[in-house]
Structure 1
Amino acid sequence: MQRFGSVTGLKPEKLEDYKRLHANAWPSVLKKIKECNIRNYSIYLQKIGDAYYLFSYFEYTGTDFDSDMKKMADDPETQRWWKETDPCQQPLPETAAKKQIWTNMEQVFHTN
């Protein structure tokens, strides 16, 4: 099992939209997440200064991460979901240049 953490910004004017979407996450998207070997997926919200940030955590239990992420990205329902959620997010500068939304974080501590 591999652990992943990532961060992105959240546009303040989209805060309520983003919360509403995730309070009613689409069953087809949740199913695809499981099919792609993602477990314990969480997203946290934090305001720092005047900016909002989203922090995500998940555990990957599969054997081919790149293949599973491609399967998720190719899914039409997931693509529709991202069309709803992506406009809410504000990528960090170094990630925006790569046309990505989320920036991977380095794990510096873990305990069971």
Structure 2
Amino acid sequence: MRYYASCVLLFAALSFYSCRETGAAATDQDTRTEATKKEPLRIGMVTGLKPEKIAYYKELHANTWEGVLKKIKECNIRNYSIYFKKIEDKYYLFSYYEYIGDNYELDMKKMASDAVTQRWWKETDPCQQPLSDAAAAGEIWSPMDEVFHTE
């Protein structure tokens, strides 16, 4: 099971407030019609990073495979960022992205079944050190609760 399964659970918990209709105009990055325009589902996640894998992980993401980027976009994920931080003597990755589609679970299954994405995860997964809650659930990334947002 991937961290996307955690996102599905997070989606269910957050959907009551994250998917309300808005009056915002569509942009060229957002191809949904005005009638289906919804606020994006904002996802924040955290995982550890193995010290001996820091350089490799950064190198991978400095040269992210084109097929991975294409699949992210096809699966309705936008504004995707990953941050790196050393806290005391441990290293962490914090990710943030926005989901703009209508069926998060289906899009995450589509991503997980993609051969290029699976190869990418074979490179990135060994770099990461799941937090205890994620490890107990067989996941890599732990969902974070949003406590503030402004546009």
TM bucket, shorter chain:
over 0.9
| Partner in structure 1 of residue 129 of structure 2 | 90
Question: In the TM superposition, what are the counterparts of 1:50-65 in structure 2 within 5 Å?
Answer: 50-65=89-104
Q: Hey, which bits of structure 1, 4+ residues long, moved more than 3 A?
A: none
One-letter code of the match for 1:84? E
Could you tell me which runs of 5 or more consecutive residues in structure 1 were left unpaired when the two chains were aligned: none
Match of 2:69 in 1: 30
Match of 2:146 in 1: 107
TM-score between both structures, scaled by the size of structure 1: 0.99
- Between the aligned partners of 1:98 and 1:106, the Cα distance in structure 2 is 17
State the Cα RMSD in Å. Answer: 0.4
Give the structure, 1 or 2, with the largest relative contact order (CA under 8 Å, sep 6 or more).
1
Q: Deviations over 1:11-40 (max 9, x none)?
A: 000000000000000000000000000000
Q: Deviations over 1:50-87 (max 9, x none)?
A: 10000000000000000000000000000000000000
2:47 aligned partner, one-letter code: T
Instruction: Report the count of equivalent residues.
Output: 112
**Rg (Cα) greater in structure:** 2
Consecutive unaligned residues of structure 2, counting only runs of 5 or more, are: 1-39
Give 1:44 deviation, angstroms.
Answer: 0.1
Query: Which structure has more strand as a fraction of its residues?
Result: 1
Residue identity (%): 68
